[in-house]
Amino acid sequence: MTSSRVFDPLAPATSARPELATFTYHDVTDDPSDSGFQRLAAMRYKLSRTAFARHLDAIGIGGPPSRIVDVNLAIPGRHRLLTFDDGGQSAVAEADEIARRGWLGHFFVVTRLIGTRRFLTVSEVRYLRSCGHVIGSHSHTHPDIFREQPRTRMDDEWRVSGDILAQILGEPCAAASVPGGDISPAVLDSAADVGLRDLLDPRPLRPDDRDAARAGRRAGPISGLARCAAGAAPQRPRACESADVVPALCADPDARVRRGDGGDGLT
């Protein structure tokens, strides 16, 4: 789980800009070996189904989350987003769980892995979209340290991934999540130039952020949204800064499933 900052869903907006909290998940499963990346560091992003349901209970206090396609950055307001990175096999169960609450979310897919073991199939990607969820790119190959890639590699990652999703869904790919949260001006320019409209840069809560949240202090800044347009500065909403939802999530003793077989982690 990642969050743009500690967020009180019931507090009134305090900024002339819209305010945003993004809660980003990866695999939700009681068996980490059945979905998503299997590297050791990736395991800390996997969540049990029971813990995920408790998270949704906390997040939903202030009403249903928004979709980025419905967020008008020119109008003040408070918004929460639910996003899911990687496109692991558990995404279908995640989508069904939030749909049971009448919610919609965002699923960002590593397109090279579609149809491979532990990841979504083409038909499952289409199913998620048919339910009303936003489907976006998490790049084509999930390169490490995305912001350090050559600009041509960034462009290719977005373009190839977007083209594959467009072919699967029959509509343009307009949203993406940066692998590892590795944002930079070059990453923003690349996304805008290939036609992406909304770019999220998720980063996980660090141990000191968790400690601060448990103690009622502000944690973050962790995640953000940039609305891109070629040749223009990106629009960014303000991150929310009050302590309510994240302390409850951080206090959850069963919030992580910790098992793995070694290697690096991916976000």
User: Tens digit of pLDDT per residue, the chain (267 long)?
Assistant: 444 333 344 444 445 667 777 888 899 988 888 887 888 878 888 888 998 999 899 888 878 888 888 888 778 888 888 999 999 999 999 999 999 999 999 999 999 999 999 999 999 999 999 999 999 999 999 998 899 999 999 999 999 999 999 999 999 999 999 988 778 889 989 999 999 988 887 665 544 444 444 444 333 334 466 666 555 665 654 545 333 444 445 445 444 332 222 223 334
With respect to residue 3, please indicate whether it lies within any of the assigned structural domains. Answer: no
Residue-range definition of the domain harbouring residue 68:
19-250
pLDDT number for residue 113 = 96
pLDDT at 259: 25
* pLDDT score recorded for residue 241: 37
Chain centroid to CA 194: how far? 20
The answer to the question of residue 9 being in a domain is: no
Where is 109: in which H helix or E strand? strand 106-109
* DSSP run (H or E) holding 25: strand 19-25
- In a domain, residue 255? The reply is no
Q: Confirm whether 14 is domain-assigned.
A: no
pLDDT at 222: 41
**Residue 24, in any domain of the structure:** yes
Q: Is position 264 within any domain?
A: no
Going by C-alpha positions, the residue among 195, 199, 184 that lies closest to residue 146 is 184
Alpha-carbon distance values, 20 to 58, 71, 156, 242 (Å): 16, 10, 29, 12
Q: Which of 44, 13, 6, 9 is nearest to 27 (CA)?
A: 44
| Residue 197 and residue 227 in contact, taking contact as beta carbons nearer than 8 Å | yes
Domain count, the chain: 1
Query: Three-state DSSP class for 2?
Result: strand
* Cβ atoms within 10 Å, residue 229: 12
CATH number of the structural domain spanning residue 74: 3.20.20.370
Entry pTM: 0.80
* Residue 150 counted as domain residue: yes
Answer whether residue 62 is part of any domain: yes
Kindly state the helix (H) or strand (E) to which residue 126 belongs, with its residue range: helix 122-130
